[in-house]
Structure 1
């Protein structure tokens, strides 16, 4: 079972395009190597429908999730039933130092695109966390193996 880790990397603030350019309403809450969270819903005509969200980072499809997590803030803002949240685990290796392009595609056709910058320090922290997670997993496996061996004796 993968462990959930918290990152010491600061989330990036993402600017959404102007409303007239949007095919969907969205907001990115967390954007760090390894995790992207937020919400997305169709334009006003389909605002109550949850959808399948495909995330592409730097021209690589990195995740496919259902944007249906409940969000009280969306209900309060009048965006449908509020069930448009998403959380996607994204391999940190798809992020690049400098400009990155994230494309959110909802139900295969409604897309929003934006760019954000990632520093070398942010990627180094993500790599270090990834290595530490593997070391922790290996240590736990060694402990289980040792306990199993002692219990057999």
Structure 2
């Protein structure tokens, strides 16, 4: 079983389109009995309002904090590989905002670890969303 840093396969914050294939490939391993991906996509609505697009901004520490989250998840029992990539900049409806994947010896471990990965990323990594709405209003999401 791979533990900790050896299981960290890909961590990045990018201003270019993300690839599910890249992230899933990064965690592939013959020891893994399951790979669970998560893909966050820009949707056309939020809280009953039409979304026209959004911008993601990241604090300079975001990459280091994302790496810390990935390393935490990589240390879980049975986890073989972990990858997470978050997009910044202008995104349109349908664009991929975040792609994560976890491979583990068993599917249950992979599901649990991937859920921890995305939930912890969303609550601790300083990446903020600025949404524009169809009615001309806008809001920031995730600012402290």
Q: Same fold (TM over 0.5)?
A: no
Please report the TM-score for the alignment, with normalisation by the length of structure 2. 0.26
Q: Which has the larger radius of gyration?
A: 1
Greater relative contact order (Cα < 8 A, sep 6+)? 2
Q: TM-score of the superposition, structure 1-length normalised?
A: 0.25
